[in-house]
Amino acid sequence: MEKPINSTTLARTKSDQLAETLAAAFKPPTQSDQPPGTSDSGGTLSRKSSKRLMMSASPGRSSGTSKNNTHIRKSRSAQMKLDLEELSSGAALSRASSASLGLSFSFTGFTVPPDEIADSKPFSDDDIPEDIEAGTSKLKFQTEPTLPIYLKFTDVTYKVIIKGITTSEEKDILNGISGAVNPGEVLALMGPSGSGKTTLLSLLGGRLIQSTVGGSITYNDQPYSKFLKSRIGFVTQDDVLFPHLTVKETLTYAACLRLPKALTKQQKEKRAIDVIYELGLERCQDTMIGGSFVRGVSGGERKRVCIGNEIIINPSLLFLDEPTSGLDSTTALRTVQTLQDIAEAGKTVITTIHQPSSRLFHKFDKLILLGKGSLLYFGKASEAMVYFSSIGCSPLIAMNPAEFLLDLANGNINDISVPSELEDKVQMGNSETEIRNGKPPPAVVHEYLVEAYESRVAANERKELMSPLPLDEELKLKVSSSKRQWGASWWQQYCILFCRGIKERRHDYFSWLRITQVLSTAIILGLLWWQSDSKSTKGRQDQAGLLFFIAVFWGFFPVFTAIFTFPQERAMLSKERAADMYRLSAYFLARTTSDLPLDLILPVLFLLVVYFMADLRLSAGPFFLSMLTVFLCIVAAQGLGLAIGATLMDMKRATTLASVTVMTFMLAGGYFVKSQGVISRRKTIINFLCLTNESSSVHILDPIYVIQLSHLQASSQGTIPRHHASCKWYKNRQWLEGSQCTGSNDFWLPFLGIPFFAEDATPLWSLKII
């Protein structure tokens, strides 16, 4: 039913408007049709001002032909069978009008004569756009063919279940959102904060697959499949990047992991360099990305690196969550310009945007306006203002269209004329409609807008917007394939991730803070045990205390660093796994082993200081045995820390569990030391720590005693303490009693509290605690 609208507003119906605009679209443009400030009919309505300038200046391109270049390029690069009529009245129309929107709210269109499209030339150098904002020329975007994907979503709903202490309730996040976007187009999702943009984007990008999602989302008329993981680029709102890698390293690793196996390493590296130039990052390519504690590239550059990380694979679908937030208007414009270039290369681009400037707004092909999870508008961005004026909502003062739309979606109608039916509601002033300053409240405005979209946008118009391009069966089949495509073999993935891990972590390991921490501990220990005496029993007991401390220090210190490894990289891991960059096993192994080489350098430094300051036994055997013991302590501690971190994948819980584990070890260790002479108790504790039972044939080696014994045994006068006399040594395939194992050739492989050798496995050397 047609609702009454305010006579003071541009009270035209949408269908009237469309009739007018279509008429205008098929009429050759005249000077008077042009909005002020635009040039003649030549390249005027191209969607990119910079490109327009470039094109009109290009040799061999008359102003008369340049106006169509954008469309020509777009239609060709998309490699889709575009219907000329649709092109003329559709995308061309939308872009044409978008150019005029910032200056007047009237709609002017133009058409592309089919013969000019037919005459179009292949890409040439003069297609390279000039980056006006940066004042530099940049390379044209990769135009190699990409699988075109037509994305369509119908009546998408999404609910979350919010669990309270005793109750749980459902919350509707999205209510019946429909839309479609073709290859070569940029769709912008706009709406106030909390309106559901990110949720919708995540659903469309296959990042949120849950049972609470309703409606249908199709890619070339097929549902989401694993194949799409490698065809989708998804730039998240938060920049998830390694802070210590440079721009070039970041993009090179992404290229090596994500590009198809068919390309050589050199080709992949070249692609990374190309992307650097395409995104204008050449000046900062050797600068670290940076993070909260490290100064790195600027926010805009970081965002472009994120975009580069995704476009490097030449994706068919590119999703971006607020790519311009936090950027100044020029950088934001440059970023959106980049998106346009990407779309022109035949990709489907969907981006959320918060508060675009009017220049930015005009660059989008289609627009979805959301308000509280409901659809307020879906259509060509250029027609949004016309549509809202047709339902009686127009700006009363000159206003950026994006600002106007966001005000409306927020229900804020200051400086906005409203239709008479809404004004009537205010005058009625019933309990439903609380009057505030004589204006209808936001909830009423929202309700009106939702209803208006549902009832006034004719079904056939919606159908037209949603109508797909003709799709090959082959295209459909490709998308529906569930075959995953890895960019590198398992071993290559492991090697790349190993190198990346070392590069990323080297700064942590060689940070002055860490070196000072370790060195100061070593010096304090060295001073406390300065030139300790190993000849008397008391002196040896003192040394045993020092050895105990060393083993405990290196048994626990790495737990706390290792425990955060996986939780810290959780965001990166889920982002990269969502894009099928590597197998989980390759990541886990590479991450675990890449820490080791670095983890072993600081202990060497530490032991060198302590060993000589405390004057422990100065001969190669005990020194290297002590070193080996410390290394094994670290390996065991790291394994424990990584396992805890990987199990929980949550910083808070991992910290709690690490504290509990360390406290348990400390208590057990304290009790162990206290009950040294009481064999039965010690056995119980060791069994408890190692989770083995007495009947198990697993033998446990305790580093503290092994170091201690190595010193005692290495000194000819050393006597085996009472509790060591109860040990058995496995050597030369037979068990020796404690008193028999004083030979200087005895050697042990200690391991911190980890079940070590099974008796049956015939280990070379092992210690059995009775």
Ligand X SMILES: Nc1ncnc2c1ncn2[C@@H]1O[C@H](COP(=O)(O)OP(=O)(O)OP(=O)(O)O)[C@@H](O)[C@H]1O
**Measured from the CB atom, is 409 or 547 closer to ligand X?**
409
In whole angstroms, how close is the CB of 445 to ligand X at the nearest point?
18
Interface with ligand X by CB under 6 A: which range of 186-194, 417-425, 600-608, 676-684?
186-194
The single-letter code of the amino acid at 454 is E
**Contact between 371 and ligand X (CB under 6 A)?**
no
- Between residue 475 and residue 534, which ones bind ligand X under the rule CB under 6 A? none
199 contributes a contact to ligand X by CB under 6 A: yes
| Identity of the residue, 191 or 315, whose beta carbon is nearer to ligand X in the bound complex | 191
Q: How far is CA 238 from CA 262, 323, 408, 571, 760, in A?
A: 32, 9, 27, 10, 54
Interacting span for ligand X (CB under 6 A) from 3-11, 59-67, 189-197, 301-309:
189-197
Q: Is residue 209 at the binding interface for ligand X, with CB under 6 A as the rule?
A: no
* Cross-strand bridge partners of residue 748: none
Shortest reach from residue 275's CB to ligand X, in Å: 27
Residue nearest to ligand X (CB): 198
Work out the angle at residue 21's Cα, subtended by the Cα atoms of residues 17 and 24, and round it to the nearest 5 degrees.
145
Taking Cα atoms as reference points, which of 173, 245, 181 lies closest to residue 203? 173
Closer to ligand X by Cβ: residue 354 or 514: 354
* Cβ proximity to ligand X, 68 vs 198, nearer residue: 198
Nearest to 279 by CA among 188, 342, 327, 230: 342
- For position 196 contacting ligand X by CB under 6 A, the verdict is yes
To the nearest whole angstrom, how small is the minimum distance from the Cβ of residue 352 to ligand X?
6
Kindly state the smallest distance separating residue 237's Cβ from ligand X, in Å: 6
- Work out how close the CB of 189 gets to ligand X at its nearest, in angstroms, rounded to a whole number: 8
Is 323 an interacting residue with respect to ligand X (CB under 6 A)? no
> Closest separation between CB of residue 152 and ligand X, Å?
20
DSSP 161-195: EEE-SS-EEEEEEEEEEEEEE-TT-EEEEE-STTS
Q: Which is nearer to ligand X, 158 or 453 (CB)?
A: 158
Least spacing, CB of residue 161 vs ligand X, in Å: 8
Q: How far is the CB of 382 from ligand X (least distance, A)?
A: 23
Task: In whole angstroms, give the CA distance from residue 763 to residue 362.
Answer: 74
Residue 195 or 638 having the CB closest to ligand X: 195
Stretch near ligand X under the rule CB under 6 A, chosen from 194-202, 339-347, 516-524, 665-673: 194-202
Sole window of 112-120, 188-196, 544-552, 627-635 interacting with ligand X (rule: CB under 6 A): 188-196
Cα angle, residue 244 at apex, residues 240 and 250 outer, rounded to 5°: 60
Residue 318 near residue 348, CB atoms below 8 Å: yes
Binding marks (x or -) toward ligand X, 141..180, rule CB under 6 A? Answer: -------------------x-x--------x-x-------
In this chain, which stretch among 108-116, 192-200, 227-235, 575-583 interacts with ligand X, using CB under 6 A? Answer: 192-200
**Reduced DSSP (H G I as helix, E B as strand, rest coil) percent helix, strand, coil of the chain, to 5:** 50, 10, 35
Segment near ligand X (CB under 6 A), from 195-203, 261-269, 285-293, 718-726?
A: 195-203
Residue 325 Cβ, how far from ligand X at the closest point, in Å? Answer: 8
For residues 191 and 379, which CB has a smaller minimum distance to ligand X in the complex?
Answer: 191
Q: Which is nearer to ligand X, 193 or 264 (CB)?
A: 193
Taking the complex as a whole, the smallest distance from the CB of residue 319 to ligand X amounts, in Å, to: 13
Residue 194 binds to ligand X (criterion: CB under 6 A):
yes
Exposure b/e, 728-764, CB count within 10 A at least 16 = b: bbbbeeeebebeebbeeebebbbbbbbebbeeeeebe
Task: Please give the full DSSP string across 38-87, using - where no structure is assigned.
Answer: ---TTTTT-S-HHHHHHHHHSTT--HHHHTTHHHHHHHHHHT----HHHH
Q: Is 425 helix (H, G, I), strand (E, B) or coil?
A: helix
Q: Quote the distance between the C-alpha of residue 616 and its chain's center.
A: 50
Give the shortest CB-384-to-ligand X separation in angstroms: 18
Contact 117, 88 (CB under 8 A): no
Give the single-character DSSP code of 26: T
Which residues make Cβ contacts (< 8 Å) with residue 515, sequence separation at least 6?
A: 602, 605
CA distances from 393 to 13, 204, 336 (A): 12, 30, 28
Q: Near ligand X by CB under 6 A, which window of 1-9, 197-205, 430-438, 598-606? A: 197-205
CB of 162 to ligand X, least distance (A): 6
Of 161 and 524, CB closest to ligand X? 161
Q: Quote the least distance from Cβ 407 to ligand X, whole Å.
A: 15
Q: Nearest CA to 639 among 689, 595, 702? A: 595
Per rule CB under 6 A, is residue 197 in the interface with ligand X?
yes
Query: Which one among 6, 9, 49, 198 touches ligand X, defined by CB under 6 A?
Result: 198
Q: Where are the beta strands (DSSP E) in 302-439?
A: 317-320, 348-353, 366-371, 374-380, 394-395, 416-417
CB 175, min distance to ligand X, A = 12
**Binds ligand X by CB under 6 A, chosen from 66, 182, 195, 331:** 195
Residue 196 or 738 with smaller CB distance to ligand X: 196
| CB contact at 8 A, 402 and 191 | no
| Total number of residues that touch ligand X (CB under 6 A) | 13
Q: Exposed, middle or buried: residue 79 (CB in 10 Å: 0-12, 13-18, 19+)?
A: middle
Per CB under 6 A, 326 contacts ligand X: no
Q: For residue 262, what are the CA distances in angstroms to 21, 31, 51, 314?
A: 49, 53, 35, 15
- Rounded Cα gap, residues 275 and 308, in angstroms: 6
Choices 82-90, 190-198, 260-268, 414-422; region in contact with ligand X by CB under 6 A: 190-198
Interface residue list for ligand X (CB under 6 A): 160, 162, 171, 173, 191, 193-199, 354
